[in-house]
Amino acid sequence: MLTGKIEKPWLTEKDTRLTLAYWIVYFVAFLGVAGGAIRCYFAWKQTLHLGNLCLVMEDNFDTFDLENTWTQEVTMSGFGNQEFEMTTNSANNSFVRDGHLYIVPTLTSDVIGYNNVLGSPPYMFNLTGCTDANSTNCGAVSNASANVVIPPVMSARIHTKNQYAIKYGRVEISAKLPRGDWLWPALWMLPVNDVYGPWPRSGEIDIMEARGNGPEYQAQGIDYVRGSLNWGPFSWLNGVSKTFGWWTNRRKTFADGFHSYVLEWDEQFMRIYVDSRLTYMLYLRFNEPFFKRGDFPSVVSNGSNFIELEDPWASGTRNVAPFDQPFYLIMNVAVGGTNGWFPDGVGNKPWLDGSDIAMTEFAQAQEKWYATWPTNIEDRALVVDSVKMWQQC
């Protein structure tokens, strides 16, 4: 057993190296915290905010208000994309149930028979309640020998043009997307008036577009959504490739549940995102004129003549035009089309965009693509839970 005093030199003689190491650890930790705080502060300072907003429209779909909020477009026009659906006012294609709006694609053959769609024998179909000013878009005659078909799908397209539009503000839509090959759900906006000329001169805001094809589809299927702006001097000279973005849901698809699709927009910026600002598809600062942003050629061909290309937005708000005017909201489910949204040669696409009989090729493949459409309306429809629109005030 040891006796006597036990010396403990570490209590009286401090090791300067240990002391230095101690303070270095705390100093580095302090620098990390301070650096993070500074970065967060400047990120917040640089984030552009909308300012005061006033709610101008909110629809939770307790009813389907076709008098004061929504208008149904009824036409066979193809909407410039040569889409393969007609849009109707039928309760089969758009209706409200249990607080949700449903936009549902259905088969035309369920109404008139498959042989009549293909024109064997020739068959005339007139669209009830057509809203198109061009009467040629209100009916069609199928003829198998001429490879002319009646649009093989019925769907719906609704808008707020007659009731609600905003210039700068916020739009938030809670929706679940449809499954099914070649379905094309969209939540988007167009100008109330074509101030700068016909599309795309006066602009288009695509809050959300998607493809109903499965995740295995190589051109971004239902596990992707996209946001974009369309703008340009001519339909064939569009700057959309410079103003688009996308977001992917890696664990689930956007048909598995509801997500919020949001537009925020003022004179300084436009932001389109899914659920939160951390998952944005497009964040665009209005820091240069769109004519300059497009880097368009100075001279273009107009038939056999060459003309000098002028800025169509010179009279508008600098850096913002054509997105300096009121836009209204559109919601629809399109099917197919020949504008390139579904690229040729991907996913066993049953038609070619350059074909003169693209819709006929699609209709003839009905058995294959319809087999991918869920029989359950909940899964085949664009289901909208709510829509809100705010105006900057």
Tell me: the pLDDT tens digits for 2-23?
A: 566 666 665 566 667 767 777 7
Maximum separation of any 2 CA atoms in the chain, in Å: 118
Distance set, CA 51 to CA 72, 268, 319, 339, 393 (Å): 33, 12, 20, 38, 8
Gyration radius of the chain's alpha carbons: 28
Which residues of the chain register pLDDT less than 50? 42, 45-46
- The answer to whether the CB of 175 falls within 8 A of the CB of 139 is no
Q: Domain coordinates of the chain in residue numbers?
A: 49-392
| pLDDT given for residue 11 in this prediction | 58
| pLDDT given for residue 9 in this prediction | 61
The pair of structure tokens assigned to 191 is 């100008």
Q: Note the helical H segments in the chain.
A: 9-12, 16-46, 109-112, 114-118, 290-294, 358-364, 366-370, 377-380
| pLDDT given for residue 7 in this prediction | 65
Q: What are phi and psi of 208, to 5 degrees?
A: -155, 130
| pLDDT given for residue 202 in this prediction | 98
Q: For Cα atoms 16, 21, 27, give the angle at the middle one, nearest 5 degrees.
A: 125
Distance set, CA 249 to CA 41, 186, 259, 278 (Å): 29, 17, 11, 13
| pLDDT given for residue 6 in this prediction | 67
- The answer to whether the CB of 159 falls within 8 A of the CB of 328 is yes
The residue behind tokens 């997105």 is 323
HSE value, Cβ hemisphere, 13 Å, CA-based, for 236: 4
Coil, helix or strand at residue 301: strand
Helix (H) or strand (E) holding 103: strand 100-103
| pLDDT given for residue 90 in this prediction | 98
The residue behind tokens 């016909």 is 198
| pLDDT tens readout for residues 96-105 | 999 999 999 9
> How much of the chain exceeds pLDDT 90, in percent?
83
The pair of structure tokens assigned to 63 is 């009813």
Q: Count Cβ atoms within 10 A of the Cβ of residue 233 and give its class: 0-12 exposed, 13-18 middle, 19 or more buried.
A: buried
**DSSP assignment, residue 234?**
B
Catalytic residues: 204, 209
The one-letter code for the residue type at 323 is: F
This prediction has a pTM of 0.89
- The answer to whether the CB of 346 falls within 8 A of the CB of 154 is no
**DSSP assignment, residue 349?**
-
The CATH number corresponding to 49-392 among 2.40.160.10, 3.40.50.1110, 1.20.58.1030, 2.60.120.200 equals 2.60.120.200
Q: Could you tell me how many residues make up the chain?
A: 393
Q: For Cα atoms 276, 277, 283, give the angle at the middle one, nearest 5 degrees.
A: 140
